[in-house]
Amino acid sequence: MSRRSTPERLHEARREATRQRLIGEGELPDQAERLVAQWELRAAQEGLERDGRYWDAGWAWMLAQRC
């Protein structure tokens, strides 16, 4: 039985992929989770939709936070 993709499942998969990408770039797991959570908070405050651009914008924001 296959599972249907829902917007929430897609969001969670992209969230985890972003977290793993940060870890792959050398971030500690706890710090990667903090960065992702901070992005989600900022995006919510700005009223950003969780569309295909959400995590691309998040990645750029997270990289800027790391510098």
pLDDT number for residue 2: 62
Q: Is residue 28 part of a domain?
A: yes
Q: What is the DSSP letter of 9?
A: H
Kindly state whether residue 2 falls inside one of the protein's structural domains: no
Q: Which two tokens stand for residue 2?
A: 């296959």
Domain housing 21: 8-66
Residue-level pLDDT at 1:
53
pLDDT along the chain (67 residues), means of 10: 82 96 97 98 96 94 91
What is the total count of domains within the chain?
1
**CA 40/CA 67 separation, integer angstroms:** 19
Q: What is the pTM of this model?
A: 0.89
Evaluate whether residue 62 is within a structural domain.
yes
Instruction: Work out the number of other CB atoms within 10 angstroms of the CB of residue 3.
Output: 6
By residue count, the chain amounts to 67
CA distance 28 to 66: 12
Half-sphere exposure of 46 (CA within 13 A, CB side): 12
